[in-house]
Amino acid sequence: MQITKRNVELRVDDSLMRVYVAAPKAAGVYPGIVFYSDIYQLGSPIIRLANYLAGYGYVVAAPEIFHRIEPVGLVIEPDDLGRMRGNDDARRTKIADYDADCLAVMEFLKTESAVSPGKIGTLGFCIGGHLAFRAAFQDEIKANVCCYPTGIPSGKLGQGIADTIHRVSEIKGEMLLVFGTLDPHIPEHDRQILIKALENANVPHKVLLYEAEHTFMRDDGYRYDSAAATSAWSEIVTFLERIFAN
């Protein structure tokens, strides 16, 4: 379906947070998705992914995750310098600030007339996958899609050590995890720790494994795998449709 695109501004702890919103053009009510980027923020590849999901009938709200540090609208280039910059921004951001941003985007979605009451999910990539996982601690989140989420077993996310792996029992919704088996940032050992934690907490979940590298769903890099990305998107859309069917 066709979509609309706009930017909104939210104030979180006196910092202006730009949120990119993509939504179906047709009048109606749709599930809302808190949509998290990787460390490069809202560049063209991430915007294309947000637009793609919106076209399936979702109000997608993607915040700039480093708004306390970077200027509004700043896109970090996905090169060596950009990687260093993004990782430094991540280390300088308080974990509590990430959580506050999540609540702000959720509250925004709940006030949107186009969002179905009680139908909110989350989706994220890389660090955004970790943030999407943490968002699942909120009772309102019904569906959680975490694409190659980094740093969950180790607690690497921002300032200090994130307690994410120790709070899995707080998750009330269902989880879909997408991994590349050739991804050095999330080795087999870390994947198993994460999966075991979900099993022990009786969190309904599904794990997708692709013979692909990190960020294989981002279409501007050498690690992009169109076949794996297409398959993953098919699974993601089916998962979300099932959760939000009623």
Beta bridge partners of 179: 209
Burial annotation 171-191 (CB, 10 A radius, 16+ → b, else e):
bebbbbbbbbeebeebeeebb
Query: Does the annotation mark 183 as catalytic?
Result: yes
Among the listed residues 126, 130, 205, 225, the single catalytic one is 126
**Rounded Cα–Cα distance for residues 34 and 108 (Å):** 10
Among the listed residues 183, 190, 205, 225, the single catalytic one is 183
Cβ(23)–Cβ(30) under 8 Å?
yes
Query: Does the annotation mark 166 as catalytic?
Result: no
C-alpha separations of 187 from 6, 179, 198 in Å: 37, 10, 17
Q: What is the CA radius of gyration of the chain?
A: 16
Cβ(119)–Cβ(31) under 8 Å?
yes
Query: Does the annotation mark 214 as catalytic?
Result: yes
C-alpha separations of 176 from 122, 144, 235, 239 in Å: 10, 6, 9, 8
**Rounded Cα–Cα distance for residues 125 and 35 (Å):** 9
**Rounded Cα–Cα distance for residues 97 and 101 (Å):** 6
Among the listed residues 67, 130, 205, 214, the single catalytic one is 214
- The residues, any chain, with a CB within 8 Å of residue 42's CB and separated by 6 or more, are 18, 20, 62, 64, 75
Active site residues: 126, 183, 214
